[in-house]
Structure 1
Amino acid sequence: MARVVCKGVEEERTARARNLVDLNDDVLLLIFGLLDHTDRLVVSALCRRLRAVLLPQIFDIIGWAAIAPEFPPRRLWPFVQTFVFSGHHIAPFTPTMRQNITAQILEAFVDMKRLTTVIIVDVEGGLWPELLDAFSVLSTPCHLQLGSHWDPAREDEDYIVLEPKRASLPFASFSFIFPLVYASEQEGGGAARRLPLGLEHEMYNIRTILAAAAETLSYIYLPGEIFPTMYGFTWSALTELYLDGLWPVERIADRVVQVSSAPPREPFPRLILGQSPEPVEAHTSKDGSETATLAEVAPSVSTSVSPTVVDEKAEASVPASRDNNAVETEAFSESLTEAFLDDLTSASDEGNTASKPTVDGDIPTTPQPLESLVVHDDSSALSPLSSSDLLSILEAMPNLRLLKMYLFHHTADLNLWAGSSARQISHRRLHLLFFAI
C-alpha cells in the first residue's frame, strides 16, 4: 500500500524586536518624527543607536548668521542637507570679513557630503566672487537660492562684479527671488522697473553664474526683466523655467566698466523679496549715471571693492547719463510688438519640425575673458529686446518640459503706445507666447 508523506516547509522565523532600538531606521524615524525638534534632540542623547538614526534628520537644515561669533560645529557638517547663510543686514562687509566668511564656508563645504541646497539671504551688497568660488568644491550639484541682491548699501559704495568662471560650478538649480522692485513713496510707490545701472549689474552677475552652470542647471527661477541674460547658451539640462515679474524689454549689453572715481548713483528702487505692496525707501541722487555696461563675455575687472583704474581717454569716453524717460521710450515700440506677433505666428505654423537650437554663432557658449576694458560711444548701455532674441533663448532649451511665465507689463510701458489697440496687442503678445511654445 502506498504511503502518503507530506513534507512540511518550515518558515524562516525572524527575530522579533525585543527593544525599541531593535526596530529598523524607517520605523524609528516614523515614531520620533512625531516629536518636535527639542524632544528629538533629547531622545538622540539616550544611546548611540538613536543618535545614528536621528541626528541626520535633526540637523539636515542648519543656518549661520554672519553676526554669530562661531560657525556651526564640525561634527554636524556630515548631516547637513540644507545650509542657510544670512548676512543679518551687516553693512558693509569689509574685505577681511568676506575673507573670513568665505574661508569658513569653503572648509565646511568640503565635509558637507549630503548638501543639496544653499540659501543666501540678507547679504548687503550681494554675493561676492570668492564666496561664489567656494561652490566649486562641492562633490554633487546643489540648489542655489539667492535672496540677496547687488544694490550697494551706501551711496559711496560700488557694485560687486562677479568674475567669469573658467571652470563650471555644480548647480542643479538657481533662483533669484526678486521678481519686482518697488519705488519710494516720493516716486509714487508701487512696483517699478529696474533702473539701468542696477539692471546692468544684476544681469551681468546672474549671467556669470548661469554661464558657469549651464551644463548642469535643470531648474531656473528668474525675474522677467533678467530673462535676456540666458541668451547665447545651449541649456541642454534645463527642464523647468519659471519667469516672474515684469516683461523683459532690454537686451544684455556689451561691457561692464568701472571708472577710477565713483560715479553719481541713480535713484535705484530698493529690492523687496516677493511681491509685497509696501513701498521701500529708495537711494536718491540728483542725477544718474550709466558709467557701467554689461558684458555678454566676461570683462577683466577687479573683484575688490575698490574700482578698477582706467586711463583718462577711456574715462572721458564714458557716456553721460540720459533721462530715464528716454531710456524707457526706446525700450518699447509698436513695431517691435508687431514683429513679435509675426514671429510667433510663423513659429506656430511650422508645426513640430525638428531643428537644432538657434543660437547666435557670434556669441560663445562659454564666456571668454577680455584682454582690456572697452567703453562704447553709444549713449545707451542696454539695447531694445527683439522678439527673435526671446525665441532664440527658448529654442536653445531642447529638453524643456515645464515653462511657467507670470509676466505683465508696467503701466509706464502701456503709456508708450497711443490708443487701446496697442494695449490689446501688448496683452495678446504675452498670451500667444504661452501657446506657441
Structure 2
Amino acid sequence: MTLSDFTKSSLEIAVTDEKVTRNTIIRAALTKKWMQFSDDAFFILDLNRIIDIVRRWQRNLPRVGLHYAVKCDSSPLILRALAALGCGFDVATRSEIDRTLIHVVNPGRLVYSNTCKSVSNILHAAQHNVRLTVFDSADELLKLKTYHPTAQLMVRLRYNNPHVDAKGQMHGRFGVYEATAKSLIQKAWDLGLNVVGVAFHVGVGVNGEATAHIGAIEKAKELFEFAQNNVRPFSILDIGGGFRGDWSNARLTFEEFCHDLGSALDTHFPPASGVRLIAEPGQLIMTTAQSLFLPVIGVKTVKEEQRQPGYVLADGVYGACRPIDIFKPKLKMRVHPLDEPSFDVTEQPCQPSTLYGPTCSPEDIIAQDLALPTLSTGTWLEIQNMGSYAKELSSNFNGVPTASTVVCISEDDLHLLK
C-alpha cells in the first residue's frame, strides 16, 4: 500500500509545516463546509500527535516494545505509520491479523491477545504463523493443542485494580488469579504446549500513576518464579494496556509515569534476566490524536416543560459519538461559530445542556447535564480526545453517513506513509 492508495480513498491528507498548522487546516475545512452548506460530521486526525507519543515512549521506556491495540482504531494509515515507527500490534481476530500483516512482514510483531478464540481464528493464526497468544482457561488450551500446537502461550493474569471503577475493570471477564494460573500452566505443560510468559491488563481509566501496573508486575513475578522453580523459565512479560490517553491534567507527567514504571520493571525483570517486555497501548496512542467536528442542526429550548437547552448534532450515539458515555468526564470541547473566533466551552458562561444525535431513536442522546454555552444552528462543535474507538464503533443507522477524515502529518514525517 502506497501513499497514492491512501489519497485515492475517502481520506484527505494535509501536510503541515511552519505556515500550515492544524488550526489553519481546521479553519479551511470548516470554511469549505459552510460554503457548501454541508453538515456531515468529520474527523481531524493528527498523525503528528501519534508519532510524538510513540517516540516519547521509545525514549522513556526503551525496553518495552509497543504493540498497538488495533481495536482502538484500525485505519490503514494509522497502522502504516505505527509499523514504520517499529511498533508491533495487539490483534484479536483474523480480520485484525489480515489488516496488520499488510504493513508488517514479520508475524512475530503480532500478539494475538484474545483469551477465547474460535477454531477458525486459531487456524488462521497458525496458517499465518502468528504464534504469540494468551489463554485463561483449560478449554482454550485444548483448542490450541489441537489446532495450533506450536503456539507460544502467555497465561492471562487477573489483577484487581483499586484505582479504576467497575466499568473499567477487566478482571470480570479476562484472566485468572495466581493459584488458577499455576494449575493452568501445569496443564499446558502436561499437554506439551510452550508457555513463554505472563500477560495482564490493569483496566481502563487509570489515573496516570504507575501504581496499578507495578502491583500487577509484582504478581506476575510470582508466576515467573513458579516457572523457574519448575525448570521451565518464562521469557516474555506483557504489561497490557490501560495507559492514560490525555495527560494534560494527570497527577504525574508522562515522563514521570514512565520513570516509575521503568524502575519497577528494572527491579523485577532487569535487563540481565533476558525477559522480553511488551505493552499493548491503545488509548495512550490515539486519544488526543483526533477531534470530531459536528454542526448543530437544531435547537430545542422549551422552558415551560423544564427541559434543558438541547442541541441536535449531525451525528450521535449510533455513529462516532457512541464512546462519549465512557469518556464523558474527560471531554474537551471547542465552539466554532461562522463569523467569530473559536473558543473553548469553558471560556463563556455555561448551563446544563443536552446533546442529541440526529436519528429517530429516543436512545440517541449523546450527553445530558453537560455544561455548554448557548449554541445556535449552523455552529460547529469540536469534541476533542475522540481518537479511541469513535470510528470502530460507528454505524450508518438511519442512513446517517459515517464521518469522513482529514489527516494532518508533518512534512518531516511524510515518509512514514510511503
Do they fold alike, i.e. is TM over 0.5?
Answer: no
Q: Which one scores higher on RCO, CA 8 angstroms, separation ≥ 6? A: 2
Q: Which has the larger radius of gyration?
A: 1
TM range (shorter): under 0.3
Higher strand share: 2
TM-score where L is the length of structure 1: 0.24
TM-score where L is the length of structure 2: 0.25
